[in-house]
């Protein structure tokens, strides 16, 4: 086995992981970008019942699913920098799992954990193959109880929905504008930052630590950040957690300044995507 293959099997070092960033094109197209061609098939879907539209217009197969809240399954559009994206919202985790199966032409719902409540799906069903659809479940973000944020549950549910919708739109935007999206700490900081701004008006580092399952100054993770470090060597994960913990404060300062300058989403995305976690920490050490 050659050294590269052996290293890949062993996982990334923390240093390698923390170097990830996007290559920002010198010039972006006019924004928002034109909708992807598949969007035309969904043109008349806005406000319609998702079940009726998928069966009557797109002719998807009708599996024998029992829906808990079919009246809540409506279609809307997210207006992103990368163009419009169809959105299907659900109000129960069972309906969320069944809708994901329906869009992917499977007759059985996946056994997704309760913490998973959003996808940007590249559908596999024959009639909508490779259509991208944003699927959202109306649930608490990162499965965080409202008491941890000091908010009434109904308010936190509404904020969760706004945050989740903007978060998934941000992933779609990096894909269309910069050519990639990944399950990586940098991508999640970017998407959650834009989501926090949409839901709360600002980005708060302590709020983000709660979403990630981090304790300030600690080197362990009890939440979803651990999912995004699965390719890191196990003994190196603590180093990644410490780096992310430190960089959140720097990102909060950076975003506060950009917001004071009235920066739009394009500038915020470029700033967040174009600098790695390692570069931000190194710059802080120099200063």
Rg of the chain over Cα atoms, rounded to whole angstroms, equals: 20
Model pLDDT for residues 62-85, shown as the tens digit of each residue = 789 999 999 999 999 999 999 999
Mean pLDDT for 226-232 is 95
- Whether the predicted pLDDT of 124 surpasses 60: yes
Per-domain boundaries in the chain? 38-139, 146-287
pLDDT of 285 reads 77
Model pLDDT for residues 134-185, shown as the tens digit of each residue = 999 999 999 999 999 999 999 999 999 999 999 999 999 999 999 999 999 9
- Whether the predicted pLDDT of 286 surpasses 70: no
Of 79-88, 218-227, 233-242, the poorest mean pLDDT is in: 218-227
- Whether the predicted pLDDT of 108 surpasses 80: yes
């Amino acid at each position: 086995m050659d050294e590269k293959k052996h290293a890949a099997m062993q996982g990334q070092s923390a240093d390698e992981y923390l170097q990830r960033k996007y290559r920002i094109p010198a010039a972006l197209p006019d924004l928002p970008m034109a909708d992807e061609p598949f969007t035309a098939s969904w043109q008349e879907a806005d406000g319609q019942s998702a079940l009726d539209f998928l069966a009557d217009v797109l002719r998807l197969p009708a599996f024998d699913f029992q829906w808990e809240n079919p009246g809540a399954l409506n279609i809307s559009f997210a207006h992103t920098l990368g163009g419009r994206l169809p959105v299907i919202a659900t109000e129960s985790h069972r309906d969320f799992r069944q809708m994901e199966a329906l869009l992917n032409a499977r007759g059985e719902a996946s056994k997704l954990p309760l913490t998973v409540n959003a996808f940007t799906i590249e559908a596999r069903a024959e009639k909508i193959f490779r259509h991208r659809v944003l699927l959202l479940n109306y649930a608490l973000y990162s499965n965080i109880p409202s008491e941890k944020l000091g908010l009434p549950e109904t308010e936190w549910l509404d904020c969760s929905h706004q945050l989740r919708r903007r978060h998934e739109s941000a992933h779609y935007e990096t894909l269309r504008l910069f050519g990639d999206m990944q399950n990586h700490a940098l991508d999640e900081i970017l998407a959650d930052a834009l989501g926090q701004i949409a839901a709360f008006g600002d980005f708060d580092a302590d709020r983000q630590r709660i979403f990630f399952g981090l304790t300030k100054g600690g080197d362990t993770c009890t939440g979803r950040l651990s999912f995004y470090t699965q390719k890191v060597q196990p003994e190196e994960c603590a180093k990644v957690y410490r780096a992310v913990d430190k960089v959140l404060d720097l990102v909060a300062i950076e975003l506060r300044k950009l917001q004071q300058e009235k920066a739009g989403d394009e500038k915020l995305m470029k700033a967040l995507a174009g600098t790695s976690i390692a570069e931000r920490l190194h710059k802080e050490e120099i200063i």
